[in-house]
């Protein structure tokens, strides 16, 4: 029996055996990596006395919650993408978050209107540009569709959740027809067929394979501080970040967040944990641990993140973005975006 299986069995035992289920605990399923979230949970326990039992997994947690049904031991699920948050609500896996912190601490665009989920941190989809070959200091998303960027762009596959979120944001703002025209031009400006991940795009800038990579902000911090793979510091050092539409419609953001499970055995403790995760203290720890942005307005990100510039997040709600994800995915397929330039 592996560690995850053993921990899952323990969590099931806690809820199935009334004598073991204690009011002073909360059971968490987390897509977020242990190194990021465990310090926060330890701090929550130290401040409240509520014990946290955590199951970490890279995928499949929503399917697990659905399969467990009423017998599920989970109270709170931590996710890394708004699609999972909205999907959980659509599948009937959530219950309303009742802590006042939800509406007191989060802007409407970063929470579900019915209280089904809350954003906890933000990551922006920005441009990494070559320090040597790109003179521009300000760009918008529309700019990368212009002819002067022909053969100079790179990004990971268009059907990855990060790019689907960006395309869905454009559909919400521009409508489907304009977004189709834009995405067609962006495709034809690609230096090579979309591939790899966000770090690979920055590496390509150093190698001269492309001049602008569409990537998430936090990878800059992760690469600059990657002691295990020091060559990534060189990749990051070759580029600088531009926040698209910083002075206009705002930069597209995605969110990591949480929801309380429909059959949570400890809903009060789950609400207490969400309230803690939305506190100034936790927001700073959460954001600093992964070079993301706090979801709560007024809480500053890490100094390194601030050095990249000021984030003006798109005011399109995460719920609206999620509503256009299927259209965005269909557009990627229709345009054969992952094949790269077609003229």
pLDDT at 23: 60
Q: What is the pLDDT of residues 227-236, one digit of tens each?
A: 989 999 999 9
Average pLDDT, the chain: 92
* Token pair of 292 as six digits: 């993301």
Domains and CATH numbers, the chain: 3-122+253-303 (3.40.190.10), 124-251+313-339 (3.40.190.10)
Cβ(9)–Cβ(64) below 8 Å: no
Which SS3 state, helix, strand or coil, does residue 113 take? coil
Q: How confident is the model at residue 55 (pLDDT cuts 50, 70, 90)?
A: very high
Cβ(209)–Cβ(194) below 8 Å: no
How far is 335 from 166, CA to CA, in rounded Å? 16
How far is 206 from 210, CA to CA, in rounded Å? 8
How many C-alpha atoms does 126 have within 13 Å on its Cβ side? 29
How far is 194 from 287, CA to CA, in rounded Å? 29
Q: What is the pLDDT of residues 180-230, one digit of tens each?
A: 999 999 999 999 999 999 999 999 999 999 999 999 999 999 999 999 899
Q: What separation in angstroms does the CA of 180 have from each of 59, 113, 185, 194, 215?
A: 31, 29, 9, 17, 20
Q: What is the pLDDT of residues 68-123, one digit of tens each?
A: 999 999 999 999 889 899 999 999 999 999 999 999 999 999 999 999 999 999 99
Which SS3 state, helix, strand or coil, does residue 214 take? strand
pTM, two decimals, is 0.86
């Amino acid at each position: 029996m592996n560690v995850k299986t053993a921990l899952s069995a323990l969590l099931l035992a806690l809820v199935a055996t009334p004598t073991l289920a204690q009011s002073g605990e909360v059971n968490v399923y987390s897509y977020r990596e242990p190194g990021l979230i465990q310090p926060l949970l330890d701090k929550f326990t130290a401040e409240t006395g509520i014990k946290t039992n955590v199951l970490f997994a890279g995928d499949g947690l929503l399917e697990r919650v659905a399969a467990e049904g009423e017998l599920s031991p989970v109270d709170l699920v931590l996710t890394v993408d708004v699609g999972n948050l909205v999907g959980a609500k659509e599948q009937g896996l959530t219950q309303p978050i009742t802590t006042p912190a939800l509406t007191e601490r989060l802007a409407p665009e970063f929470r579900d209107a019915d209280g089904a989920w809350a954003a906890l941190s933000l990551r922006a989809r920005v441009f990494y540009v070559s320090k040597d070959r790109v003179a521009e200091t300000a760009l918008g998303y529309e700019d990368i569709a212009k002819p002067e960027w022909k053969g100079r762009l790179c990004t990971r596959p268009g059907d990855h959740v990060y790019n689907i979120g960006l395309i869905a944001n454009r559909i919400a703002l521009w409508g489907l027809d304009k977004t189709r025209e834009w995405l067609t031009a962006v495709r034809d400006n690609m230096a090579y067929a979309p591939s790899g991940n966000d770090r690979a795009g920055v590496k390509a800038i150093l190698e001269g394979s492309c001049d602008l990579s569409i990537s998430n902000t936090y990878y800059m911090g992760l690469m600059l501080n990657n002691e295990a793979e020091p060559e990534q510091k060189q990749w990051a050092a070759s580029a600088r970040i531009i926040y698209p539409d910083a002075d206009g419609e705002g930069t597209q953001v995605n969110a990591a967040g949480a929801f309380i499970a429909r059959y949570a055995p400890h809903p009060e403790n789950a609400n207490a944990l969400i309230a803690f995760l939305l506190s100034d203290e936790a927001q700073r720890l959460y954001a600093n641990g992964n070079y993301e942005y706090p979801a709560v307005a007024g809480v500053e990100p890490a100094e390194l993140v601030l050095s990249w510039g000021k984030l003006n997040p798109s005011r399109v709600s995460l719920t609206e973005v999620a509503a256009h994800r299927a259209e965005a995915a269909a557009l990627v397929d229709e345009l054969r975006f992952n094949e790269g330039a077609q003229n």
